[in-house]
Structure 1
Amino acid sequence: MRLVVRSVYNNNSILVNIGTGKQAIVSGKGIGFKKRPGDTILSTDATSILYLEDERIKKHFATLLKDVPIDIVVTAFTAIDDAKNNYHYSVLNYIYVTLTDHIFQMYKRLMNGKYQPSMVPDIHERYPTEYAIGRDVLGMINKNLNVHFPDAEIKNIALHFINAKGIDSEPDPTDTLSAKVNRIVNQVFNEYGIRRNVSNQNYFDRLMIHLQYLVERVQNETLDDQVLSNNIEQDFHRLYPMSYEISGKICDELEKNLKIVLNENERIYFIMHIQRLIQENENMPSK
């Protein structure tokens, strides 16, 4: 089958049209060499094909490519699709953003000699499926990116799948609820001097993507009711006290204003996002 080139990312990765408006990322050694939009390639020349069938996944892919290398994006997206197919595991689409971002951040730390294993407690007995997925994903990361992360990284990857477990609904008109959520979060951020700027815009935008999916889950009453280990919350409280405080305020305001109940999973995830914002905003005043 011939595929029509839409964009060339590098010599080894290209975006192609595969008919009826569908697109895919095709990878293979030298497959993009001297190719231009409109050229054709044979599907047999590809070593892997990543289909971008969901419109929101397409948007996530385009957003991530602005600051994440194509090899990392393709690895993360492929790993997620493999997990969904091999383990029949349903996840919300925002994991394509959060897991890709996590892989990118730990890759940068490793390359800079600053990587340290996470303090998150072991969860393999309580979440065997997610832990098995994490092991597979880590194997793909090490192979595709030619790196070696220790097995301690498995639990971090598993945590992303635990947090994102669920089924995406069709987009609904959520503008009103979305606006409420964004207003609440920004009010709390203003109290702590957190603003969207050039240095933190990627982390800020990714938090807002997470919030949009939270809105949908609230509307459809699909919030995860399985609480993570208390050790994780305690460790995050000890390691990231300011992020823990801000996260608690945001969750309390969301619960009070939207008449909902957020479990510890959501609180922990806010901590992870907010910690990145704080790290990128070194001049944030203390409360």
Structure 2
Amino acid sequence: MSAPTAAQAMAAAAARLRAAGVPDPARDARLLLAHAASVDAARITLIAPEEIAPEIAERFEHLIALRAIRVPVSHLVGQRAFYGRDFKVSADVLDPRPETETLIELALADPFERVLDLGVGSGCILVTLLAERGEARGVGVDMSEAACLQASANAVLHQVAGRAEILQSDWFEAVEGRFDLIVSNPPYLAAEEMAQVAPELARHEPAMALTDGADGLSAYRVIAGQAQGYLTAAGHVMVEIGWQQGDAVQQIFRDAGWGRVTLAQDLDGRARVITASDPA
């Protein structure tokens, strides 16, 4: 009996993933076969008619088995695309999300020389901003030592390590100096929301990056209450929020004395980024 072709293997894998409740199973099957075969995903159609070598079939089977139990594709291939760059990821950090690119676009709309990223995680925000602004320097902080190591590795990968300082810190605890821009994608899920999150998040991403274990607003209270001590006179803060948190987070910043607070939506029209400036 001949070995299955790549097309047949992908179809069978997609059916298996669909039965396991995996969203977009055909895409995942294609990406994982490309990884198993060490080819670019865009070239999969070229090898579709060909029989799969036994060693590739074995690797593919292993990857599909893990994906069926909802291990994220990014963890299986070791990276996730964000703003045109591939970032190394692991179970120690939150996967970069497409909606976070809204924060990047807004941040790049104004000049900055020094940027602080609170809760740096994979480093996708800080590293992207430094890569896009060749003269800028930045600091990224995270409570997780493993996240700091991951961010440092991505800074090296994208050749900004000489302009990025990564520190283990509980928010502003280890931060010194002032910044033109402070950014953060903090844990914003309320504790009660964790029961509804996808298995990929609940089982395979760090809980401390997803939720504060309370009402989902704790980080914004810290940032709104302390960021003014770390900003330059014309500096501003940008934070990503949950799509239902727009009013609450704006009020937190206003109550903390910030004179200008605005809300921006992502490409899906959902509340996504709060910008605050002119602190009291």
The TM-score normalised by the length of structure 1 is: 0.38
- Greater strand fraction, Structure 1 or Structure 2: 2
Larger Cα Rg: Structure 1 or Structure 2? 2
- Greater helix fraction, Structure 1 or Structure 2: 1
The TM-score normalised by the length of structure 2 is: 0.38
